[in-house]
A and B are shown apart, each in its own frame.
Chain A
Amino acid sequence: MSPLIVTNDVSKRYQMGAFDVNALDGVSISIDHGESVAIVGPSGSGKSTLMNVLGCLDLPSGGAYLLDGHDVGRLSRHKLATFRSQMIGFIFQNFSLLPRATAFENVELPLIYAGWRGRERRARAAEMLATVGLADRGHHLPSQLSGGQQQRVAVARALAARPKLLLADEPTGSLDSKSSQSILALLNDINSRGITVVLITHDPGVASEMSRVISLHDGRVASDEVKARPAEQCAPEPVLP
């Protein structure tokens, strides 16, 4: 099986006033199906830009990006969105739930865009809420949930449409340590079911939970280490029923 993610000398330049900023400068990485990867680096190292490119939210200005064998750089906006809808689930630092929609409706939303129909869609949304342990909170608005619960809803939403890749941008950045631990355990559990997890963090503790750490510096790959999976050894109390 070919790797899920292949970037070949990917670069991204921004025009900032009179300056050209090279946010990414020749990044070549390859991530296999089922890996769990942390992308680390100081701010300004280009990790957010890499995440946007990997998530098909932004197109590289140079080089090639192949996601599951498809050359993303050649896709139209419509195709790109369809691709996101089928392949990728996003988790953001600030949860990014729609504030006026209930938890259930938030989880339902990607299914709507992916074209799931009525009963099937509602069953899937309910199932996903149950998976993250919030079956009884479906009708709550995000403002009525704690930060940890909101991020769980976001995880359920990200996984609803059966993506192959879960992208998380500082998923624990707004959480206390207990909630952080349970979210990380959840991500590891997801990964153990075969979904590739790529997360961005500046927290070494979070990065150490992943099996591979890629560190960026000034838009280039500074180091790329694969470790033994630590998840089995130091998993906190099980979070999934």
Chain B
Amino acid sequence: MKVLLNLREALRALRANKLRSVLTTLGIIFGVSSVIIMVAVGSGTQRRIQEEIESLGTNMLQVFPGAARSAGVRLGAGSRPTLTDDDARAIANEVQNIVAAAPQVRGRVQIVAGNLNWATNVTGTTEAFFAAREWAISSGRSFEAEEVEMGRKVVVLGATVARRLFPDGDAIDRTIRVNHLTFRVVGLLEGKGQTIEGADMDDTALMPLITARNYLIGRALGSPRSVASVLVRGEENSDLGAVAGEIRDILRQRHRLLPEQEDDFQIQDMSEVMNVMQASSNALTTLLAAVASISLLVGGIGIMNIMLVSVTERTREIGIRSAIGARPGDLLSQFLVEAVTLSLIGAVIGVLLGVAGASIAEEMFSVRTALTIEPILLASGFAALTGIVFGFYPALKASRLQPIEALRHD
């Protein structure tokens, strides 16, 4: 009840100085809205990375062939066809704590189905790929061991390719043509969405390694048995460093490298890259939130400033109030409620602005944002706390005024 009456007084006092009240709340408004926008942008980025990690599968290593060195000129990774499907098989058979190891060759092809056609990336691999990428089949089936072994002309299409070539939706057991050869669609991959760079992961087609090498992209590779990379998936919570060490030992042995020779392959730890990205985006979110909180703090100082002015201006009013029975506690709560009202009005407007700002950022600048209730509650709570903390001193000052001094004041 007392609080409601205090609120009435507070609103009346704030209305009496509209412009001043609005300018004072601006600090809180910008503080709250910037906290919300910053955290939304930060956690949007984080969520995107999270999805990326999930879509790529965690616990992943990728082995690439090494760089060719000819007379001192070093070419890029993969320029020497040192990695073969026998290496992949050896990794799969000999390395401990792995779920799957899938060799990959890649090429770009033009696929024709009926009167439609579509250019896409084709990956030649083995049935281990689905486990290694944690990529499920949405309809149909994956390759059978026999198809991989014999190099049958079967294909599993990504969701985008299937949609482009078979808009009617029924792709299973239909045929596609690539380079005048006919392939049978045996399955469709589940949709995975975009990578963090915006590439469409579903714009792909899979076929058995031998098939791809024999019919489509074999010519591009130096050796008939070489592969572009080997994808290795470690067991859940396994030590990827140890797995990488084992792979290195096996490959050095198989490639008969002398101890002083450099590796003729590279092992890339995908989860490590992701961890680094995740950590840096975490740091970014924290930094953004911290910077935004400082503006909230500045807003609080603005409130304190204006409340001090208000107490001085209303010294006589305080005197009258104490003469007619206001206790120090009544005056304290009156001015405290006024400061908190000021900051809460700012918080409400700030939340609205922040939510609007986050959606505008998403719409106009295509920044991925994620609005959650936590930063909104946190920012409003912090704003209210700011009102209490910075309103307390002026309110205390008001409550400590001596009634006769206050009454003498004009």
* Interface, chain A (partner B; CB < 8 A): 52, 55, 57-58, 77-78, 81-82, 84-86, 89-90, 92, 96-98, 100-101, 109-110, 112-114, 117-118, 157-158, 161
Contacts and interface: CB of A to CB of B under 8 A. Distances in A.
B328 A157 contact: no
Given A57-B403, A78-B329, A85 B12 contact: no
Q: Which 10 A-B pairs have the closest CB atoms?
A: A85-B325, A113-B325, A81-B327, A110-B324, A57-B403, A90-B323, A96-B320, A57-B404, A58-B404, A110-B325
A85 B322 CA distance: 9
Nearest to A108: B5
B404 A52 contact: yes
A85 B324 CA distance: 6
Contacts of A110: 324-325
B330 interface: yes
B326 interface: yes
Interface of B: 1-2, 5, 12-13, 16, 316-317, 320-330, 402-404, 407
A57 B406 CA distance: 10
A113 B327 contact: yes
Contact of A117 (B1, B320, B321, B330): B1
Contacts of A118: 1
Given A57-B403, A109-B324, A113-B325, 7 more contacts: A77-B328, A78-B327, A85-B324, A92-B323, A98-B317, A113-B326, A114-B325
Given A55-B323, A84-B323, A101 B12 contact: yes
A84 B325 contact: yes
13 contacts: A55-B323, A57-B323, A58-B404, A81-B327, A84-B325, A85-B325, A92-B320, A98-B321, A113-B321, A113-B325, A113-B326, A118-B1, A158-B324
B346 to A, nearest CB: 22
B325 A98 contact: no
A78 B328 contact: yes
B52 to A, nearest CB: 59
B348 to A, nearest CB: 24
Given A57-B404, A117-B1, A161-B325, A100 B12 contact: yes
Contact of A157 (B2, B12, B13, B324): B324
A64 B344 CA distance: 48
Nearest to A161: B325
A113 B330 CA distance: 8
B45 to A, nearest CB: 49
B403 to A, nearest CB: 4
Contacts of B404: 52, 57-58
Contacts, number: 68
Contacts of A55: 323
Contacts of B2: 112
Contacts of A81: 322, 325-328, 330
Most chain B Cβ neighbours within 10 Å, of A55, A100, A112: A112
Contacts of A101: 12
B327 A82 contact: yes
A68 B329 CA distance: 25
A52 B405 CA distance: 11
Given A81-B328, A161-B325, A100 B403 contact: no
Given A58-B404, A98-B317, A100-B13, A113 B324 contact: yes
Contacts of B317: 98
A176 B355 CA distance: 60
A17 to B, nearest CB: 17
Contacts of A89: 324
A24 B12 CA distance: 40
A158 B402 CA distance: 20
A153 to B, nearest CB: 12
A85 B326 CA distance: 7
A114 B330 CA distance: 11
Nearest to B324: A110
Contact of A112 (B5, B16, B328): B5
A86 B324 CA distance: 9
A98 B320 contact: yes
Contacts of A77: 327-328
Contacts of A58: 402-404
A199 to B, nearest CB: 15
A170 B325 CA distance: 20
A109 B321 contact: yes
Nearest to A169: B407
Contacts of A90: 323-324
Contacts of B323: 55, 57, 84, 90, 92, 96
Contacts of A82: 325, 327
Nearest to B314: A98
A27 to B, nearest CB: 17
B268 to A, nearest CB: 71
Contacts of B402: 58
Nearest to A112: B5
Nearest to B406: A57
A98 B328 CA distance: 18
Contacts of B320: 92, 96-98
